[in-house]
Amino acid sequence: MSATAVRETKEETGLVVETGPVVSVTEQITDQVHDLFVVFRAHVISGEAAVSGVDDDVTETRWMTLEEAGTVMPWYRSGLAGLLDGPGAEYDTVQP
C-alpha cells in the first residue's frame, strides 16, 4: 500500500513523497459501495505541487495550515493534527 500512496501522490500532485506509518484507516459502507481509505504520514522529498490532470477529482493543489485543511477534510475523529501527533492508526466505519 505504501508504494501505491507514493505513486498516486506523484500522479495527482507532482510531489515525490516518502511514506511513514499509517495514521488512519476508514471504511465507507453503503448499499452501492464498500470503500477502504488508508492514510499514511508522508514527507515531501521533491517536486512542485501542481494539478496533473490525471484525475478529474483533483482540481486544485495548494499548501494550507492544518486548521484550514481540517475544515475541508472534517471526517477524521481526532482532526488532522491528532492524526499527525497520535501514536498510531485510528479506525472508523462510516455507514448511512
Average pLDDT over residues 3-26: 90
User: Which of residues 73 and 86 earns the better pLDDT score?
Assistant: 73
Do the beta carbons of residue 73 and residue 81 sit within 8 Å?
A: no
Please give the model's pTM, rounded to 2 decimal places: 0.74
- Residue 80 sits at the vertex; the CA angle it makes with 30 and 76, to the nearest 5 degrees, is 20
Average pLDDT over residues 15-37: 89
**Predicted confidence (pLDDT) at residue 96 exceeds the cutoff of 70:** no
